[in-house]
Amino acid sequence: MEIRKFSKPVVIGGVGGSGTRVVAEIVEKLGFYIGDDLNPARDNLWFLMLFKRPKWYSKSRHDKKKIFTGLSLFSNSMVYKKKFTLPELIFLCQAAFEIAISGHNYKGDGRGSWPFARAWNMLTGKQKTLLNNTGWGWKEPNTHIYLEFLAEYFKHLKYIHTMRNGLDMAFSKNQQQLYNWGPIFGVETPKSKTDEPAASLKYWVVSNKRVLDIGKKLGDEKFLVVNFDKLCVSPRSEILRIVSFLNINPSAENLEITFNIPKRPKSLGRFRAHNIGQFDPADLRGLKALGFSLNISNF
């Protein structure tokens, strides 16, 4: 039973601001251990510190061995607690020093002692037995960047990708992924705030299309898309989809609690207060192809 739990991590990712926190709270309430070192958004700070490094990823994305070393270090820290290998310790030190100097986003957040506190927690944490948990996993929006590597490293991965209408996302204050990863995926960094919404939608289309293409290869047993707008408006049916995907049988009490977690955000449909003419028509077509449109009457 323990081996089975360890071999099937549940991973939650998506473009920043797409509702991954809500999905993480649901999964956590369903009995999954998602880490001890979390921020209020339920992001796993160990994964963040190790992998939210765009410059490093740009240089290392074709080096599977190096990325697998990071995943071995991460899973070892989360649940296994085996003796760390020299490559794992080197990976950890390099990540901590890089974040300490440059931060983990374009704003430089995380510089200073922050990554060393994460590294210490990783090295000194106690082994998790998961006896009282359904399984384990984590939530970190940037996880989708590494989906292909994750699916190969964790053979029985369960990945949940959260999506929210890209037009609403374009006017969000959370544009970290656009600045961090956009250039790597061919999206030009905005020159000013007025250019940000159009660039944001372009990144949303490119990144989500990439993930869905990977998801088709993974199949329905390993990959699930959760439409955040639908989750907030019809939580019961959407959460039952998540439960079915995870192949679990939660108690009626816990299930009822999860139904009350999603709340319809006031920002739903906020794009209607803005000029849609600023967007590239190709990106609006991409929005529609990914299952969203200018019409939100269904929500």
Distance, CA of 230 to CA of 184 (rounded, Å): 30
Q: What is the Cα Rg of the chain in Å?
A: 19
Percent of the chain with pLDDT over 90: 76
Name the nearest CA neighbour of 177 among 25, 38, 43: 43
d(CA 175, CA 180): 9
pLDDT tens-digit readout, 55-67:
999 999 999 999 9
Question: Quick one: how far is CA 277 from the chain centroid?
Answer: 30
* Torsion of the alpha carbons at 162, 168, 169 and 172, rounded to the nearest 10: -130
Chain-centre distance for alpha carbon 193: 25
Q: What is the pLDDT of residue 298?
A: 38
* CATH label, 2-289, candidates 3.30.2310, 3.40.50, 2.50.20, 2.60.120: 3.40.50
Mean pLDDT of 197-221: 96
Rounded mean pLDDT of 36-49? 96
Residues found in the chain: 299
Confidence bin at 270 (pLDDT 50/70/90): confident
Residue 51, Cβ neighbours under 10 Å: how many? Answer: 22
DSSP per position, 193-239: GGGHHHHHHHHHHHHHHHHHHHHHHH-TTTEEEEEHHHHHHSHHHHH
Would the pLDDT of 161 be above 60? yes
The separation between CA 113 and the C-alpha centre of its own chain, rounded to angstroms, equals 24
pLDDT, tens digit, 9 for 90 and up, residues 94-126: 999 999 999 998 888 999 999 999 999 999 877
Query: Edge to edge, what strands does the sheet with 223-227 contain?
Result: 32-33, 135-139, 10-13, 158-163, 223-227
Residue 5 has pLDDT above 50, yes or no: yes
Domain ranges of the chain: 2-289
CA proximity to 298, closest of 264, 273, 275: 264
Residue 271 has pLDDT above 80, yes or no: no
| Dist CA 144 CA 161 (whole Å) | 8
| 3-state helix, strand and coil shares in percent for the chain, rounded to the nearest 5 | 55, 10, 35
Which whole number is the average pLDDT over 222-239? 95
Residue 1, pLDDT > 70, answer: no
| Cα dihedral 209, 213, 214, 219 sign | positive
